[in-house]
């Protein structure tokens, strides 16, 4: 009978210990699962702000809004408008003029001999030339008046710029150094290829004269008279 009384508490104590161990094991397993969930990477979608500030993919560079303005400022016409008139497309000639205060004014004509419309705008470059080599005599023509707007020329149409020829005989020969000239070297507006217009006369090789031996005005529509 004594052994039965002692054995019951021992069995109960052992059972209680086993239950505690099992309980701790269960808690440990729950903590491990929670940690594993925290360590798993979280897949998140980018916010709206992130999507709109991403750089464009390779090969799809952003357009520069100033590109078109830069092209227009370099002298190229806007897309869809006629191109600038080139020297090879132009025939040049001098019309009759009129005299005023020691200067003779004549229209320098630019006729479009090309197959397409083209545009002239501004001042041509004009200077006297002499000799077989066409060397320049004296300073180039002085620009006179404001720069005009674009003048569109259809094939066969003409525009003109008024050139003033000063009577160089009115200058002191020592300062003027009168020199026979063959004609004019002319650069159409915006061009680097020159044209030649025959007009024999006399220019000043000296650069120390009171005024300008040649003047030129901006290009205007029409032939400028007869």
* Mean pLDDT on 47-66: 34
Look at residue 30 and tell me whether its pLDDT is greater than 50: no
For residue 77, give both structure tokens: 């016409």
Mean pLDDT of the region 44-71? 35
User: Is 101 a member of any domain?
Assistant: yes
For 142-176, how does the pLDDT look when each residue is reduced to its tens digit (9 = 90+)?
Answer: 999 999 999 999 999 999 999 999 999 999 999 99
Would you say residue 180 lies in a domain? yes
pTM over 0.85: no
Query: How far apart are alpha carbons 131 and 129 in whole angstroms?
Result: 7
> Cα(58)–Cα(14) distance, rounded to whole angstroms?
73
Average pLDDT over all residues of the chain? 76
Residue 127 confidence (pLDDT) above 60: yes
* For the chain, percent of residues with pLDDT exceeding 70: 64
Domain count across the chain? 1
- Cβ–Cβ < 8 Å for 181, 137: yes
Does some domain include residue 188? yes
Please check whether residue 141 lies inside any domain of the structure. Answer: yes
What local confidence, expressed as pLDDT, does residue 15 receive? 44
Domain assignment of residue 135, yes or no: yes
Q: Is the residue at 124 inside a domain?
A: yes
- What is the share, in percent, of the chain residues with pLDDT greater than 90? 59
Task: Examine residue 199 and state whether it is found in any structural domain, yes or no.
Answer: yes
User: Could you tell me which of 115, 185, 120 has the C-alpha nearest to residue 156?
Assistant: 115
What CATH number should be reported for the domain holding residue 171?
2.60.40
What range does the domain containing 183 cover? 83-221
Identify the band that residue 80 occupies on the pLDDT scale cut at 50, 70 and 90: low
- How do residues 169-187 score in pLDDT, each as one tens digit? 999 999 999 999 999 999 9
99 inside domain: yes
């Amino acid at each position: 009978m004594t052994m039965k009384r002692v054995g019951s508490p021992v069995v109960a104590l052992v059972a209680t210990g086993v239950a505690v161990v099992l309980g701790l094991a269960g808690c440990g397993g729950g903590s491990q699962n929670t940690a594993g969930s925290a360590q798993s990477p979280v897949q998140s979608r980018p916010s709206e702000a992130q999507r709109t500030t991403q750089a464009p993919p390779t090969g799809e560079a952003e357009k520069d809004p100033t590109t078109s303005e830069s092209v227009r400022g370099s002298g190229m016409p806007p897309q869809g408008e006629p191109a600038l008139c080139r020297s090879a497309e132009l025939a040049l000639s001098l019309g009759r003029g009129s005299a005023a205060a020691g200067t003779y004014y004549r229209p320098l004509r630019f006729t479009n001999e090309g197959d397409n419309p083209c545009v002239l705008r501004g001042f041509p470059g004009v200077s006297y030339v002499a000799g077989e080599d066409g060397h320049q005599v004296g300073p180039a023509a002085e620009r006179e008046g404001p720069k005009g707007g674009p003048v569109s020329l259809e094939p066969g149409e003409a525009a003109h710029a008024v050139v003033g020829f000063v009577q160089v005989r009115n200058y002191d020969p020592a300062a003027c150094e009168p020199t026979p000239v063959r004609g004019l070297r002319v650069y159409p507006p915006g061009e680097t290829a020159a044209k030649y217009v025959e007009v024999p006369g006399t220019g000043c090789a000296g650069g120390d004269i009171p005024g300008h031996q040649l003047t030129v005005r901006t290009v205007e529509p029409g032939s400028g008279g007869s």
